Amino acid sequence: METAGQPALNVLQSIFGYDAFRHNQQAIVEHVISGGDALVLMPTGGGKSLCYQIPALVRSGTAVVVSPLIALMQDQVMALKQLGVKAAFLNSSLSAAQARDVEQQLEAGQIDLLYVAPERLLGERMLSFLERLPVALFAIDEAHCVSQWGHDFRPEYQQLRILHERFPSVPRIALTATADKRTRIEIIEQLKLQGAEVYLNSFDRHNIFYAIAEARQAKQQLWDFIQNQHANDAGIVYCLSRKKVEATAQWLSEQGRIALPYHAGLPAELRAHTQQRFLREEGIIIVATIAFGMGIDKPDVRFVAHLNLPKNIEAYYQETGRAGRDGLPANAWMAYGLQDVITLRQFMQDSQAPELIKRVEHHKLEAMLGLCELITCRRHALLAYFDEDAPEKCGHCDNCVNPPENFDATEVAQKALSCVYRTEQRFGVTYLIDILLGTDDDRIKANQHDQISTFGIGTELNATQWRGIFRQLIATGYLDIDISRYGALRLTEKCRAILRSEQTLLLRKQQDRKATTKAGKKQASVRPQDEKLWEALRQCRSDISHKNGVPPYVIFHDATLQEMCRYRPKDLAAMQRISGVGEQKLNHYGHVFLEVIQQHPLSELLNNGLSDTINDTLLLHEKGHAVDAIAKQRDLKLNTVYSHLAEGINAGLLDVKDVLDLDSAEIEAITLTIESLGDKSQSLKAIYQALDEVYDYGSIRCVLASLY
Ligand SMILES: [Zn+2]
């Protein structure tokens, strides 16, 4: 029996250049090919578009893809054309003549995938035009836009139900990357997808490392993070205000990075230009308000940093989700502080929204704060928020890697809370801390607050530590901020139990700065011995992308270039086995990339199966660096460097004479001593002593490695 599977797999391999389907792509693709409706929930970077692109190519006729964003449509069509797929779009960016041209191609059956904006599709002219064509399927992308509760609501999306009435026999597939239970139900109802198969994927973005730090000197913390982990990478930094966007972009530029500001207050042309640069050039940092990101489908954004608290977990997930769409390691990093909470509360208070909405927003902010102050796994909490079960520990977030410490904060909390009480809940954090510390201050004296019992009772902590305590008390709901009274703190019902010592309170210990910057180790893109080739391949890709006027990732993703480095294909047949190299790209670019690979052969020394860290040392040795210089550069102990070199000697890649700064007679002497020791030569210490402690352990280790 002929199944839908084989033709689909053929398309996946020959056109897209991938060996196998991921997640539940295969089931979805087969279901749609056989004519069924589907609702697909897949996280960004999960390979969502393949779910309709492959059925579009297997089924006869043209597939119509509804997409809300013009930029996104253009990107998709451009990428498909690179793969040799006949794709086009119809939207307001085309002239009348261009649109007519597309329509003619459609009538001639020359287009497999047509991207169209919803308002265009819904016009009577377009609908009747499509009725005359063989339509392979309808794909409704970003289907959550149908939800009037969501932040991307598009009223036209709700009218898409008409497709069900006008084209009853054409399969429809709705796709989204952000949908909680309520939105899912809304999509099914609004689009009349009853009877559709629902495909739920995990919302886990396993390649993203989550870290949330307390803001101390946020800008410096941000720079440490970028410099240590993303020295050449593209990323997005989110700030709350336009002013902060401008200042941060400027500061990063002064540090030597290309950092461009992006916010709604900038002219439209400048914004478009900035976005283009971000897509087309490598290593650009965008500093933006939340206005940036929708419709950006750049797969190789390596980090998303927040210099302010997002207003809810949905926003945090969506914004951080823009990192690592290609599935390679990426970082979601945030620094937040007390001021963020105050500012966000202020925003909400000032907003014109109805009381009910304000209350919902308030709760959502609480949940976001909860995620920040969490002492357990961030990923677990994040997924739980989206109703998904996950292991207690993910091993890939700051709290898993560096578990924060708790301490019994009952007593300090009592001091803080009673200080709020004794000053009649009329003052903000800074003033309260001054009282706790017993600061000599005119305002305190004028208010006679130097007379109250909490004056000067908090000297066991410094001002920063007290801010941390207040922040946590606010985040966990023991204190409330009265925005109408300039950020005065109020006690909540919840703090009674603490003031009466009926409950102990555990709070998170302040992190020291080292710990926060250490989280999330830098992961190298390629093995050290492949670095030169990696740079050359990227350069080659960049040249081609400039020539063709498309972003580099449209030519090949980073993952594809990484595979080329590791497997170093020698001919076109081997090149075709690299993931992401389909027929069209093989024909167009195969030779060029093969040539680059040929020009960068692995040196004999580095062509080995030793670990990356050993090869890092060998590479520096090959460049002529001495042992102590290598140790310094790599921040390793001398002994470790010697042990790496010993591995190289042992593998027959290095000659001990080239490694050690000793003459042949000395090496001979060490050799003889080792041999004379017989069985005892297993012990480095025994050899060291037998040689009268003249030669260091490292040298002995290397000579030993040359003998066995
Ligand atoms: Zn975790």
The mean pLDDT of 41-62, rounded to a whole number, is 91
Cα–Cα distance, 537 to 525 (Å, whole number): 13
Contact residues for 282 (Cβ-Cβ < 8 A; gap 6+): 232, 234, 538, 542, 552
- Give 362 Cα–ligand 1 centroid separation in angstroms: 26
SS (H, E, C) 313-338: HHHHHHHHCCCCCCCCCEEEEEEECH
Q: Is the pLDDT of residue 65 over 50?
A: yes
The β-bridge partners of 73 are none
Cα–Cα distance, 30 to 171 (Å, whole number): 12
Sign for the CA dihedral angle at 182, 186, 187, 188 comes to positive
Exposure string (b/e) for 8-23, b if CB count within 10 Å is 16 or more? bbebbeebbbbeebeb
495: its two tokens = 């703090």
- Give 459 Cα–ligand 1 centroid separation in angstroms: 35
The mean pLDDT of 4-9, rounded to a whole number, is 83
Contact residues for 97 (Cβ-Cβ < 8 A; gap 6+): none
Give the model's pLDDT for residue 516: 46
Q: Is the pLDDT of residue 681 over 80?
A: no
pLDDT category at 4 given cuts 50, 70, 90 is: low
Contact residues for 416 (Cβ-Cβ < 8 A; gap 6+): 432, 436, 458, 466, 469, 470, 473
Question: Which residue shows structure tokens 């009673």?
Answer: 418
Beta strand 330-336 with 208-214 is parallel
Q: Is the pLDDT of residue 14 over 50?
A: yes
Q: Is the pLDDT of residue 520 over 80?
A: no
- Give 380 Cα–ligand 1 centroid separation in angstroms: 6
Task: Calculate what percentage of the chain has a pLDDT beyond 70.
Answer: 96
Q: Is the pLDDT of residue 15 over 60?
A: yes
- Give 615 Cα–ligand 1 centroid separation in angstroms: 31
pLDDT category at 55 given cuts 50, 70, 90 is: very high
Beta strand 38-41 with 172-176 is parallel
What is the per-residue pLDDT across 103-144, written as a single tens digit (0 to 9) for each?
Answer: 999 999 999 999 999 999 999 999 999 999 999 999 999 898
Superfamily of domain 8-200: P-loop containing nucleotide triphosphate hydrolases (3.40.50.300)
Cα–Cα distance, 19 to 47 (Å, whole number): 14
Question: Which residue shows structure tokens 């410096």?
Answer: 220
Give the model's pLDDT for residue 521: 55
Cα–Cα distance, 188 to 351 (Å, whole number): 32
- Give 312 Cα–ligand 1 centroid separation in angstroms: 19
DSSP 3-state helix, strand, coil percentages of the chain (rounded to 5)?
Answer: 50, 10, 35
CATH class of 208-401: alpha beta
- Topology of domain 528-598 in CATH is DNA polymerase; domain 1 (1.10.150)
Lowest mean pLDDT among 83-87, 337-341, 417-421: 337-341
Cα–Cα distance, 108 to 553 (Å, whole number): 31
Give the model's pLDDT for residue 1: 41
DSSP string, 675-707: HHHGGGGG-HHHHHHHTTT-S-HHHHHHHHHHH
pLDDT category at 512 given cuts 50, 70, 90 is: low
The β-bridge partners of 63 are 113, 137
Give the model's pLDDT for residue 373: 87
Task: Determine whether 383 is exposed, middle or buried from the number of CB atoms within 10 Å of its CB (0-12, 13-18, 19+).
Answer: buried
Residues 670 and 614 sit within 8 Å (Cβ to Cβ): no
The mean pLDDT of 69-93, rounded to a whole number, is 91
What is the per-residue pLDDT across 158-207, written as a single tens digit (0 to 9) for each?
Answer: 999 999 999 999 999 999 987 677 788 889 999 998 889 999 888 899 99
Residues 218 and 335 sit within 8 Å (Cβ to Cβ): yes
Give the model's pLDDT for residue 344: 80
- Give 379 Cα–ligand 1 centroid separation in angstroms: 5
Task: Determine whether 73 is exposed, middle or buried from the number of CB atoms within 10 Å of its CB (0-12, 13-18, 19+).
Answer: buried
Backbone angles phi, psi at 164, to 5 degrees: -65, -40
The mean pLDDT of 689-696, rounded to a whole number, is 89
More confident residue, 13 or 360: 13
Residues 67 and 229 sit within 8 Å (Cβ to Cβ): no
Residues 177 and 41 sit within 8 Å (Cβ to Cβ): yes
Residues 315 and 367 sit within 8 Å (Cβ to Cβ): no
What is the per-residue pLDDT across 469-493, written as a single tens digit (0 to 9) for each?
Answer: 998 888 888 888 877 777 788 999 9
pLDDT category at 29 given cuts 50, 70, 90 is: very high
What is the per-residue pLDDT across 525-578, written as a single tens digit (0 to 9) for each?
Answer: 788 889 899 999 999 999 999 998 888 999 999 999 999 998 999 999 999 999
Q: Which amino acid is at 579?
A: S
- Topology of domain 406-510 in CATH is Arc Repressor Mutant, subunit A (1.10.10)
What is the per-residue pLDDT across 366-399, written as a single tens digit (0 to 9) for each?
Answer: 889 889 988 889 999 999 888 788 899 999 999 9
**What's the DSSP call for residue 91?**
S
Identical fold at 406-510 and 612-707?
yes
CA angle 160, 165, 167 (to 5 degrees): 90
What is the per-residue pLDDT across 209-222, written as a single tens digit (0 to 9) for each?
Answer: 999 998 888 999 99
CATH class of 612-707: mainly alpha
The whole-chain average pLDDT of the chain stands at 89
- Give 466 Cα–ligand 1 centroid separation in angstroms: 27
Question: Which residue shows structure tokens 């040392």?
Answer: 617
Closest C-alpha to 596, from 541, 546, 559, 529 = 541
| Helical (H) or strand (E) element with 93 | none
- Give 300 Cα–ligand 1 centroid separation in angstroms: 23
Give the model's pLDDT for residue 283: 92
Which residues surround the ion ligand 1 when the cut-off is CB under 5 Å?
377, 379, 394, 397, 400
Task: Calculate what percentage of the chain has a pLDDT beyond 90.
Answer: 56
402: its two tokens = 């560096």
Give the model's pLDDT for residue 519: 45
Give the model's pLDDT for residue 523: 65
- Give 381 Cα–ligand 1 centroid separation in angstroms: 9
- Give 328 Cα–ligand 1 centroid separation in angstroms: 18
- Give 399 Cα–ligand 1 centroid separation in angstroms: 6
Give the model's pLDDT for residue 351: 79
- Give 294 Cα–ligand 1 centroid separation in angstroms: 27
Backbone angles phi, psi at 175, to 5 degrees: -130, 145
- Delimit the domains of the chain by residue range: 8-200, 208-401, 406-510, 528-598, 612-707
Give the model's pLDDT for residue 631: 93
Closest C-alpha to 126, from 112, 137, 116, 136 = 116
**What's the DSSP call for residue 64?**
E
Exposure string (b/e) for 684-700, b if CB count within 10 Å is 16 or more? eeebbebbeeebeebbb
